[in-house]
């Protein structure tokens, strides 16, 4: 059962550009961004006043009203995305196969908005005011727990928390579980919903966020010389990752094949990447080794590309060290230029986009790329999508604490 081929058969997404993979992919191809002024609270006094809010999301479109009231927003996102992904995969989880279907979904912050709200209630009215659903609404692993309950998935069930590498790590470990024969199907991805004053203030006071408040849609500009920070955003992506033999047995649509995964730690700093990207380089090499391919086999890199001064320069440097002269022949782009940074969901959303690139041979652009940076001198597919054959693509994710996760996808050929 070892070394089984692993494919993706379903995609469900929520982000600032809308709900569902159709609008997600359409807006990415068109270079559209719905990043705008924060509407969920008064941010006029904040260092950064802009975000990528999922304004079109209505939880009761996907979840019973009573159940939705008992979930934090991050959990609502993931349940909705799971419903979309399961429908997309045309997957029916019967009792016969339920033990071979696992769930691995992570979140960077979990139900932090619930924690803040319940804390305020406690200080105003004492312990009797705390909701009996407070703990289930708070803890991150309640997402896979509720997915398991709602969709009859009774295989491995847990969460990973690794900052902004969370989504990639969840997908990568799901790939490993299927590859080794532990399960046949995994419901996997990431979710986060923390466009709240405390988090926006925290990231802002670190000077990690963009302060280009007068130009929200131009604020996120990965690899551009005038980049000044990332844009906080919310969202989720859930993928149905499946053994190839399982997918073929039920005639499932296949978006692409997962062929490689690499993960490690910088071991350098709590927030800053290693100045030479040593950990990033090693993680990319681990993924290439796992895939059994050479660097020159990769056609496209979906970069982490946060629009922060350090990340973009160091990621570019690491790519050049791993790919050598071939780096200049690679297409590299950042979905965050349009989606903002969805934290624990980012790796999952970006790998969903990577799979759609493999399926349709269209590379989404890096928008707002206006002034080249001498330290960022690769082909970032500036401002306009590109039709190009893509057989193999790499997707990079990095997180605070030095967490690195690299996924490699391949066009599926029967």
Catalytically annotated residues: 164, 304, 341
Instruction: Classify residue 61 by burial, with Cβ atoms within 10 Å: 0-12, 13-18, 19+.
Output: exposed
C-alpha 271 chain-centroid distance = 19
| Residue 119 neighbours by CB distance under 10 Å | 12
């Amino acid at each position: 059962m070892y070394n089984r081929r692993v494919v993706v058969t379903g995609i469900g997404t929520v982000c600032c550009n809308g709900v569902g993979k159709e609008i997600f992919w359409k807006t990415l191809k068109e270079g559209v961004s719905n990043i705008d002024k924060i509407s969920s609270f008064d941010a006029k006094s904040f260092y950064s006043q802009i975000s990528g809010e999922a304004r079109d999301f209505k939880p009761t479109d996907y979840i019973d009203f009573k159940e939705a009231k008992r979930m934090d927003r991050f959990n609502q996102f993931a349940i909705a995305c799971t419903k979309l992904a399961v429908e997309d995969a045309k997957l029916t989880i019967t009792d016969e196969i339920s033990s071979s279907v696992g769930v691995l979904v992570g979140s960077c912050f979990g139900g932090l908005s619930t924690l803040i709200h319940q804390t305020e209630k406690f200080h105003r009215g004492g312990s009797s005011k705390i909701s009996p659903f407070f703990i289930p609404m708070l803890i991150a692993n309640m997402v896979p727990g509720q997915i398991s309950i709602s969709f009859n998935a009774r295989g491995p069930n847990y969460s990973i928390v690794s900052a902004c590498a969370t989504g990639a790590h969840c997908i990568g470990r799901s790939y490993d579980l299927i590859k080794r024969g532990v399960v046949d199907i995994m419901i996997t991805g990431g979710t986060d919903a923390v466009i709240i004053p405390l988090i926006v203030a925290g990231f802002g006071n670190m000077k990690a966020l963009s302060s280009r408040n007068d130009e929200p849609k131009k604020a996120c500009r990965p690899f551009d010389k005038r980049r000044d920070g990332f844009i906080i955003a919310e969202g989720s992506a859930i993928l149905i990752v499946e053994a190839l033999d399982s997918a073929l047995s039920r005639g499932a649509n296949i978006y692409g094949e997962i062929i490689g995964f690499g993960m490690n730690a910088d071991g350098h700093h709590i927030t800053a990447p290693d100045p030479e990207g040593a950990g990033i380089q090693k993680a990319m090499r681990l993924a290439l080794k796992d895939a059994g391919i050479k660097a020159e086999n990769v056609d496209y890199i979906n970069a982490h590309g946060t629009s922060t001064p350090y990340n973009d320069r160091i990621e570019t440097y690491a790519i050049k060290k791993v790919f050598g002269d071939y780096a200049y022949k690679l297409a590299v782009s950042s979905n965050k230029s349009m989606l903002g940074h969805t934290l624990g969901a980012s790796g999952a959303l970006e790998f969903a986009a990577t799979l759609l690139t493999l399926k349709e041979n269209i590379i989404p652009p890096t928008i707002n790329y206006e002034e080249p940076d001498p330290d960022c001198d690769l082909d970032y597919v500036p401002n306009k999508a590109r039709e190009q054959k893509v057989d193999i693509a790499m997707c990079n994710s990095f997180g605070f604490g030095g967490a690195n996760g690299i996924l490699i996808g391949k066009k599926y050929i029967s």
